[in-house]
Amino acid sequence: MSDEEREEMELDLASPDVVTKYKSAAEIVNKALQLVISECKPKAKIVDICEKGDSFIREQTGNVYKNVKRKIERGVAFPTCISVNNTVCHFSPLASDEGLLEEGDILKIDMGCHIDGFIAVVAHTHVLQQGPITGRAADVIAAANTAAEVALRLVKPGKKNKDVTEAIQKVAAAYDCRIVEGVLSHQLKQFVIDGNKVILSVSNPETKVEEAEFEENEVYAVDIFTSTGDGKVIVKQDARKTCLDGAVFFRSIFNCLCSF
C-alpha cells in the first residue's frame, strides 16, 4: 500500500492518529476560549481580544507536531469572533474597529482550531455582569444549553438530521423561546468546515435540506442559536453583521461519532 493510499484511509475517526489530532485541537481551542472569556471586561476593545484568541491558537499549535517527517499544517480554523447583543454570530472585527465592550453586554464567542486539517470549533455565551442571570436572559441561555445537550445525545449512528431539528425546537418552545432560522450545522472533514451533510435549525417550507442519517466515524459541529424574539434574522447594510430583534445566544458542540 502506498503512502497516499494509507493517508486516504486515515481521514476519519477509524484512525487513532486522527482522533489524537482532533483531541489536541479541541484542547487548544478550549484553552483559547477560557483566555478570551477572561479578557472580556467592560471597556475592553473587541478587536484586541479577538487578536489574543487567534494568537494563542497559533502559538499553541506551533508547539505540537514539530518533529515529524511530513509537514503538518495547523493553526486557526475559524477566527475568534465576539458578537455583541443582537448581532447573531461570526463578528470578527477589522483591525480599525473601535468597538468596546460594556457592562451588561451579552457576548457570543466562537472560534476554531485545526491540526492537519482536523477541526475543533467551540462557542460560548458570556454575560458581562456581576451576580446571577435572571428573567428572559436566563430563559434563553438555558434553552440554548438544554438544546445543545439534547442535540449531543441525538447526533449518533442511526439517528437522522431531522431528529435533531425537531428536538431542539421542542426544547426552545419549553422555555418560551425560538430556535433561530437559517442556521446550518455541518459535518466536518479534513480541511472542510462546511461539509455537505447538514442539520437544519428550523424546518419550514422555505428552507429544506436533504434528509441524512448519521454514521459511525463522522464529526459534526452543531450550532444552537436561541432567541426570545421570533427567530428571524435581519441582514444589515454593514455586511459583517447579521442582527436579530431580541437577545440571541449561541452554543456549539464538537461531537465525534465513534464505534465502540
Question: Residue 242 has what pLDDT?
Answer: 47
Domain range for 181 is 3-256
Question: Residue 230 has what pLDDT?
Answer: 82
Beta bridge partners of 115: 74, 118
Question: Residue 4 has what pLDDT?
Answer: 53
Number of domains in the chain: 1
- Which parts of 116-259 are beta strand (E)? 118-127, 178-179, 184-188, 198-200, 219-227, 233-235, 242-244, 248-256
Question: Residue 247 has what pLDDT?
Answer: 40
pLDDT in tens, 159-191: 999 999 999 999 999 999 999 998 999 999 999
Q: Which residue has the cell 486522527?
A: 18
The CATH code of the domain that includes 96 is 3.90.230.10
Separation in Å, CA 45 to CA 29, 42, 122, 219: 21, 9, 21, 34
Question: Residue 237 has what pLDDT?
Answer: 54
Beta bridge partners of 192: 189
Q: Is 226 exposed, middle or buried (0-12, 13-18, 19+ CB in 10 A)?
A: buried
Ranges in the chain, pLDDT < 50 = 1-3, 6-7, 239-260
Other CB atoms within 10 Å distance of the CB of residue 148: 21
Asked if residue 185 lies in contact with residue 201, where contact means CB atoms within 8 angstroms, the answer is: yes
